[in-house]
Structure 1
Amino acid sequence: MTKTLILLFHPSYESSRANRALAEAAASQEAEIVDMQALYPDGKIDSDAEVVRLIAADRIVLQFPVQWYSTPALLKAWQDAVLTRMFYIAYESEGRRLAGKPLLVAATAGNVPEAYAPGGANLFPLGELLRPLEAMAHRCGLAWQEPFLVYGARKADEEALDALGAHYAARLARLASNTRVAAAA
C-alpha cells in the first residue's frame, strides 16, 4: 500500500472550518495527517522524526492557510530545519531519497478568486504567490503537482465545505492512483 503524507500547518487549526473539512475528507483516503502545530507548538522541529516521516511517504502534501501572501511561520521553520538538513547536510543518505515523490500544495485563502488577479485586491494569482514552494520542490527533486486551491475559506457554508472536502478527497485519490501507476512503470 502506498502512503500519502499530509503535513498540516495551521496556527489555529481548532478554529479552522476549511482546513478541518479538508483534513476530515483526506482521512477517507487512508492518508497520514500530521497536525504540525499540535506536534510542535513551540516551533522546535524534531528533524530526525520529520526526515523519517518524509522518507516513508510515497506522496507529500503541504496543507495550510495562506497568510500575508505566504506560508505559516511553522512551515518555513520546518523547511529550514528539515529540508536544509536533507539537502545541504545529508543529501546522499536522506535528500536524494525524496527524488521523484509528488508534492501537492493544498492552500486555503480567505478572499475570493477575483481578489487574486491583476487589478484585484491581492494583485497576483494565488498560484504565483506559491512559486517559492514550486522552486523548493524543484530544488528537492520533488514532482510538483498543480496546487489544490480553496478561495473564500472563511465564508464557506457547510454545503460548500462538504463539496470542497469531496473535491480534495478525489484529488488525493487521483494523486495516489497516478503515483501507483508511475511506481509500477
Structure 2
Amino acid sequence: MSKTIILLFHPDLSRSRANTALARAAAKLPDVEVVDMQSVYPNGIDLHRDGEGEAARLLAADRMVFQFPLQWYSTPPLLKAWQDAVLTRMFYMHYEAEGRVFEGTELLLAVTLGNSADAYRSGGSNIFELEALLAPLRATANRCGLAWSSPFVLYEAHKLSPEALEAAAAEYVDRLAEWIASTPSRNEEVA
C-alpha cells in the first residue's frame, strides 16, 4: 500500500479558511494522511524528545507534502524547527538507518500566500520571485536526496470567496491525485 503524508504547518489552523479547506479536501483521498503539526507540537519540537517518532512517521510514508502559508517570505517557525530536529536526526545522527532509507522520497510543497501572483514575479512588489523564496526548501530537498516536485501554490488565499476556495481545494486534490499516480512508491517492493 502506498501512503502519502501531508505535514501541515500553520501556526493557527482555526484562523485559516484556505489551509483548512485544502487539508480537509486532501484527507478524503485514499492513503493520504494529513497531520496538523501545530496541534501535535503546540510547545515546539525537540530533536531528542520527538525526532525518533517523526523519523518513523516519515519512513512509513512513500511521499511527503509540506503544506504551509508563506509568512514574511519564509516558512512558519515550526516547519524550520521540525527540519532542524527531524532532518538533523535522520541525515546526520542516524544516516544509515534513516536518512539513506528516506532518500528518493518525493516531496511536494503546497503553499498559500496572501498576495497576488504578480507580487511574486520579477519586478513585483516583493522583489523576489516565489521560486527564490522557496530556494532554501529546494536546497534542503537536494541535500536530503528528496525528489523535488513543482509546488502547488494558492495566491490571495485569505481573499477567496467560498466558491473560489472550494474550486482551489478541488484543484489541490486533482494535483495531489495526479502527483501520487505519477510518482514512484518508495516503500513498494520490486518483484
TM bin (shorter chain): over 0.9
Work out whether residues 2 and 185 of structure 2, in 8 Å CA contact, stay in contact via their aligned partners in 1: no
Of 62, 68, 72, the match for 2:72: 68
Work out whether residues 70 and 76 of structure 2, in 8 Å CA contact, stay in contact via their aligned partners in 1: yes
Q: Which runs of 5+ in 1 are unaligned?
A: none
1:105 counterpart letter in structure 2? L
Q: Which runs of 5+ in 2 are unaligned?
A: none
Query: What secondary structure, in the 3-state scheme, does the structure 2 residue paired with 1:68 have?
Result: coil
Q: Could you report, residue by residue, the CA deviation over 1:115-141 in whole angstroms, capped at 9, with x for unpaired residues?
A: 112222111111221011001011111
Q: Could you report, residue by residue, the CA deviation over 1:4-24 in whole angstroms, capped at 9, with x for unpaired residues?
A: 100000001011011011101
CA distance in 2, matches of 1:171, 1:66: 20
> Are residue 124 (structure 1) and residue 128 (structure 2) matched?
yes
Work out whether residues 66 and 107 of structure 1, in 8 Å CA contact, stay in contact via their aligned partners in 2: yes
Matches within 5 A, 1:79-118: 79-118=83-122
Distance apart, 1:181 and its partner CA:
7.6
Work out whether residues 64 and 71 of structure 1, in 8 Å CA contact, stay in contact via their aligned partners in 2: yes
- 2:36 is matched with 35
> Are residue 148 (structure 1) and residue 149 (structure 2) matched?
no
Work out whether residues 63 and 185 of structure 2, in 8 Å CA contact, stay in contact via their aligned partners in 1: no
- 1:167 is matched with 171
Q: Percent identity?
A: 58
> Are residue 158 (structure 1) and residue 159 (structure 2) matched?
no
2:8 counterpart letter in structure 1? L
Equivalenced residue count is: 185
CA distance in 2, matches of 1:141, 1:95: 9
Work out whether residues 113 and 156 of structure 2, in 8 Å CA contact, stay in contact via their aligned partners in 1: yes
- 1:18 is matched with 18
With the length of structure 2 as denominator, give the TM-score of the two structures: 0.93
CA distance in 2, matches of 1:26, 1:156: 18
Q: Could you report, residue by residue, the CA deviation over 1:24-47 in whole angstroms, capped at 9, with x for unpaired residues?
A: 110121311100001100003411
CA distance in 2, matches of 1:176, 1:149: 17
CA distance in 2, matches of 1:36, 1:169: 20
4+ residue segments displaced more than 4 Å: 180-185
Q: Which moved more, 1:59-68 or 1:21-30?
A: 21-30
CA distance in 2, matches of 1:109, 1:166: 18
With the length of structure 1 as denominator, give the TM-score of the two structures: 0.95
CA distance in 2, matches of 1:175, 1:117: 25
Work out whether residues 95 and 140 of structure 1, in 8 Å CA contact, stay in contact via their aligned partners in 2: yes
Work out whether residues 2 and 180 of structure 1, in 8 Å CA contact, stay in contact via their aligned partners in 2: no
Work out whether residues 127 and 147 of structure 1, in 8 Å CA contact, stay in contact via their aligned partners in 2: no
